[in-house]
Amino acid sequence: MRTYLEKLIQGNNLSIEEMKAAALACFKESITESEIAALLTALQVKGETAEEVTGLVEVILSQSAFNTDSIVNAMDNCGTGGDMSGSFNISTTSAFVIAGAGVPVAKHGNRSVSSKTGSADVLEYLGVSLFFTRSQVEESLVQNQIAFLFAPHVHNALKPFTKVRKDLGLPTIFNVIGPLTNPIMLNSQFIGVYRKDKLHIVAQALRNLGRKRALVVNGAGGMDEASLAGKNHLILLEDGELKPFTLHPEEVGLPVYSIKEIQGGDAKKNATITKNVLQGNPSAYLDTVILNAGLGLYAHGTASSIKHGIELAKESIHSGKALECLTNLVHFSKKYDSEVV
């Protein structure tokens, strides 16, 4: 570990293999919490690279009992969090719209970190289990087009890092890698990042991790979601190439709303917002989900363009299929309520 720490302190980057070796060392009993804290701090001060992100993610995935090959061409639309916008659960709500359009969504998420209510908080309130087994996750993806993977449950080997991160109370590389650590082997992904300067790092890491197609967005106003407040900055990963572009909501026929108009609240309030959106009730919330779900469908490749994705998202909602996906996931949770661990 000392070799890697000295290299980072001197401002030098670690290769993917060096990062993997450093990360694997953190799981050894001989490594102290101080050494783990030093590694995370040194990476943060230097600034993490795509290779360092890739190496850490590969090690985390290797430690998860849920790590599995893609069985249904699933995608995820989890964001990094950290934008401090106070918005409702945009990606969680959008996941049901994407699933309603026929794309399996392995939704990776956690409890609240920077927002008032995290994806796990609102889904738990709605009646979705946070503790599906691996086989239940796979079954739900096939039957319901959607499954939820609660990060602490599917990554319970990360306890050495969890305590250190809590004690540090500072941003670390983990604030970037969360969406990349979905243990389902994904072919495609839609990720929101809270900082514009992280766009290329995350996009390059997605390419390193073997995603065939992906879309990374930093929303107007610094959101980790696509925003209706103005210009969004995106990078499309397609055929191994990274293609940056910008998108204003008016370019795809959507209105402009301020971030204040999509504020969320506690789990009860956000659950109500989610159900209202899936029922198709007109609002800034609905249009925000339509944009993000449309981008998710474009990221997956189901939609041939962003406008096409938006049309598919609207159809998913207005046909009732998006709401049906939520209803089915709740029923699935109740079915296995006595079996979950």
Binding residue numbers for Mg(2+): 91, 224-225
Greatest alpha-carbon span in the chain:
58
Q: List, as residue ranges, the binding site.
A: 79, 82-83, 87, 89-92, 107-115, 119, 165, 224-225
Q: List, as residue ranges, the binding site for anthranilate.
A: 79, 110, 165
* DSSP single-letter state for residue 111: S
Phi, psi of 217, rounded to the nearest 5 degrees: -130, 140
The CA-atom distances, in angstroms, between 76 and each of 149, 216, 224 are 10, 12, 14
Determine the Cα–Cα distance for residues 147 and 107; give it in Å rounded to an integer.
Answer: 6
Q: List, as residue ranges, the binding site for 5-phospho-alpha-D-ribose 1-diphosphate.
A: 79, 82-83, 87, 89-92, 107-115, 119
Q: What strands, in cross-sheet order, belong to the sheet with 241-247?
A: 146-150, 105-109, 75-76, 188-192, 213-218, 232-238, 241-247
Residue among 53, 55, 145 at smallest CA distance from 97: 145
The CA-atom distances, in angstroms, between 28 and each of 31, 132, 263 are 6, 28, 43
Could you report how far apart the first and last alpha carbons of the chain are, in Å? 35
Residues 75, 190, 26: CA angle, nearest 5 degrees: 80
The DSSP bridge partners found for residue 147 are 106
How do 188-192 and 213-218 pair as beta strands?
parallel
